[in-house]
Amino acid sequence: MNDHRAGRSRKRLTLLIATGLLAAGATPLVIAANGNAATPVAAHSAGVKAAAGVGLDDAHKKDIAMQLVSSAENSSLDWKSQYKYIEDIGDGRGYTAGIIGFCSGTGDMLDLVQLYTDRKPGNALAKYLPALRKVNGTESHSGLGSAFESAWKTAAKDAAFQTAQNDERDRVYFNPAVNQAKSDGLRALGQFAYYDAIVMHGPGDDSTSFGGIRKTAMKKAKTPAQGGNETTYLNAFLDARKAAMKTEEAHSDTSRVDTEQRVFLQKGNFDLNPPLSWKVYGDSYNIAN
């Protein structure tokens, strides 16, 4: 099987600003139906409920979502083996690491290591916090390097660090994506489409970040919550996602949309129920149950 590390998450630098809206313990941001950012409110009080069916936040569906993302990010369904992953993939975001591609240049790696250190002072990564603050917003490795890479792999063996990765994935990416999708009246497939997009493009509001992609889609089709057709809207969202991907050479292979998400949509599998079969970068995958 080919290694497609170059296809890993390349979050927009707007993440540095966007994550400021999602402080630890804060209620996830829900975007208003007109596409503009609204005051953060709980998804259940947004006045809209997703169509009946098990959502992506169901434990089994969430594991499926992680396998789907890992097939594109790591050429493997074994997402739990990625806690230790770290390398610079040459995309201008410095180091990319962990289960969701935390980056030293986009703020989310710094937030992760800070959370880990708050919970477990003196851990293997704690001493690199000053260096992470200095390189934030750049591609620099200053003060990090091979020693930091080794420390990351050591920390990855610690259950506390694994939990911290899970929690930051949920706070910054998973929960906001799923809550917004539910507010838009989307079932599990649409929730996954939002999640995969926010993982790659970041939660910003410019044209090639998640918020901007959603706005572009809403100019073409109404969400189910607005009375639109779910298939029509998701096709519009995936079209907008592809256009955003093509603005960067590193994202020019859009198979995670074309031969994964679009395949599920064409089959009408809105609840993302197994068995699932798809291809990413030409490699075939399946989830039996």
CA distance to 1, 137, 265, per residue, from 283 (Å): 7, 33, 19
| 283: β partners | 280
Determine which one of 58, 78, 91, 248 is catalytic: 91
CA distance to 65, 190, 206, per residue, from 243 (Å): 23, 18, 13
91 an active-site residue? yes
Determine which one of 73, 184, 196, 230 is catalytic: 73
Please give the Cα distance from 17 to 224 (Å, whole number).
29
Q: Determine if residue 222 is left, alpha or beta; phi over 0 gives left, psi from -120 to 50 gives alpha, anything else beta.
A: beta
- Measured at the alpha carbon of residue 238, what is the angle toward residues 236 and 240, in degrees to the nearest 5? 70
State the residue for tokens 């603050």. 133
158 an active-site residue? no
Active site positions, annotated: 73, 91
